[in-house]
Amino acid sequence: MAPKTYSGNCHCGAIKFNVVLPIPIEEMGLNACDCSICTKKGYLFVFVRKANVTFTKGAGTDGLGGGILVDYRFNSRMVCHRFCGRCGTPFGVVRPHMGASEGFALNARMLMGVDLWSLDVEKFSGGAPWRPYNVPTYPKLKELLAQPLEDGEKIYHGSCHCGAVTFALKSPWSLDKAGPEGVENNHVQECDCSTCIRSAGMFTYPRPLNRVSIHTTSPDAITTYVSPVGKGFGGEQFCSTCGVPLFQQLIGPPSGESCLGPS
């Protein structure tokens, strides 16, 4: 089969690029790593050579968005998990000072005209077992776990990758089961909007909001991105340091406007 060119971008448009794949992506399939950072970011990779990627905007210092995008490194610091610091879109995993013939992992979620749900995904283990990941925990998790729970309630805890943001959710029922009638079920849903498809948005919607407790290590630990597409009633929130998507902030209509539901 002949090579095929795809266009891609982060959501806010800070970077735009074209990538030439040796065969159509439908024939290549996608790759998903189960390591600590890739799981949190929801990457779907295609492996490409640097020479096959041409930036039309935001090429930066290395031709792959260096200095335009944000780099996050950990453990050996040999690779960079690169993301847009404005909209949070994960770009992929690159190495410093790459030559044109060297390959890297590109996040296929940025590519336009690709039906991700129809493609085969091959899972692989890319973690370093000799460097175990210490999962950050919400500082008051022990106190929460010590509190009595209503029948069916369950405590979940989560975090970004670097630990700048940790949280705990007191769910009225297990997320993987349907609760009895009259119990608020926190369904887990994957969104296919233009923002969430890039950041692998998968959400649950707890009510009331005090069911979620959040801790940050600094006032600017979370970046909020309000998409210019739509009415701006909500914003995606991600870790400013490691780029892991975290929450959707519900902003609501501007002052003086209201939403009328069906009567």
The full set of domains in the chain, from first to last, is 4-124 (2.170.150.70), 141-250 (2.170.150.70)
At position 194, the amino acid (one-letter code) is S
Q: What is the mean pLDDT of residues 116-138?
A: 90
DSSP string, 114-131: --GGGS-EEEE--S-TTS
Q: How confident is residue 250, by pLDDT bands cut at 50, 70 and 90? A: confident
pLDDT number for residue 152: 83
pLDDT tens, residue by residue, 168-198: 999 888 888 776 776 666 678 898 999 999 9
pLDDT tens track for 46-100: 999 999 999 999 999 999 999 999 999 998 888 999 999 999 999 999 999 999 9
The torsion angles phi and psi of 216, rounded to 5 degrees, stand at -125, 150
Structure tokens at 224: 């909020």
Give the pLDDT confidence score for residue 256 in this predicted structure. 57
Percentage of the chain surpassing pLDDT 70? 93
- Rounded CA separation 3/5 (Å): 7
Q: What residue spans of the chain are helical by DSSP H?
A: 25-28, 36-41, 141-146, 196-199
Is residue 225 within 8 A of residue 250, CB to CB? The reply is no
pLDDT score recorded for residue 263: 38
Stretch 18-22: mean pLDDT: 98
Closest CA to 34 of 21, 45, 18: 45
Q: What is the mean pLDDT of residues 201-214?
A: 89
Least confident span in 107-116, 140-149, 247-256: 247-256
Q: What pTM value is reported for the model?
A: 0.90
CA distance 88 to 191: 16
